[in-house]
Homo-oligomer: A and B are copies of this chain.
Amino acid sequence: MKKIGILGGLAWPATVEYYKAICELSQKYHADAGLPGPSPMPEMCIESVNINYSYNRRGTFGDEESWTAYDAYFHAALKRLEDNGVDFAIIASNTPHNRFDAITKGLRIPVLSIFEAVAATCKAHGVSDCLILGTEPTMDSGIFPGYLKRHGVNGFAPPEAALKAKVTGLISELFKGKSDNGSARIDEVVRASCDQTTGKQSVVCLACTELPLAFEGKEQCETFHHNGVFYLNTTMIHANATFRYAVEGEGA
């Protein structure tokens, strides 16, 4: 198995979900191997950074200069993973992916993009339109819709600032490891966003790695249905892609 590097802490509850998912996938993968001792695990290095530090260094899209400190913080953490000897890395959060090119510039190790993994999953499921729920940078930057477009998917954010604020308010609570009626609150945003579109919208991308935690029991599903809506769980899509890449080329 390749050694996995994880840039985590953005926020910590999602880092837990990634780590748990990869460990459980390894247990399933080795279940019938009959090896002596506990189930083998891929070696991993998790760089868990300070989300408060990065949050307060967010820049403005369109102003490259304003992102210098933000980009540097994440690039340095990925560089430490590279120096550690990991074979590849992931960033366990959607938000920094809006600065993916700047953050990963000059690294020798591959970094698996969450936006790319989700876009491929959309294509595999024949998704044509997709509502994007996430942090401000993910809903506003236009970066994620660009990835989706290359796979023939029309991605768009909630049409009103008040709806976006409901999403980011919920994310703040989930960052702390708890929230009330999360799935119902997301459902409201989805209905209101659909009312203002063509009406054919029924696919929603939970493009913040914390958002799936609002749907109890669904945290480990790549995709799931809830109240007639088809949800994409970016955390699990990315975690599954990570484990597949870690074991690729092994075995018979």
- A residues with CB within 8 A of B: 9, 11-12, 15-16, 19-20, 23-24, 27, 35-53, 55-56, 80, 83-85, 172, 175-177
Contacts and interface: CB of A to CB of B under 8 A. Distances in A.
A91 to B, nearest CB: 15
Contacts of A45: 45-48, 80
A203 to B, nearest CB: 29
The 4 A-B residue pairs with the shortest CB-CB distance, nearest first, are A37-B55, A40-B52, A46-B46, A44-B48
A83 B51 CA distance: 23
A175 B52 contact: no
Given A37-B55, A41-B52, 9 more contacts: A9-B43, A15-B19, A37-B56, A38-B176, A40-B51, A45-B47, A45-B48, A46-B48, A84-B84
A15 B177 CA distance: 17
Contacts of A53: 40
Give chain A's interface secondary structure class.
mixed
Contacts of A16: 16, 19-20
Nearest to A17: B16
Contact of A48 (B19, B85, B175, B176): B19
Best-buried of A39, A48, A176 by chain B (most CB within 10 Å) = A48
A43 B80 CA distance: 13
Contact of A9 (B15, B20, B41, B177): B41
Contacts of A48: 19, 41, 43-46
A41 B20 contact: no
A40 B50 contact: yes
A9 B85 CA distance: 17
Contacts of A55: 36-38
Contact of A38 (B11, B27, B44): B11
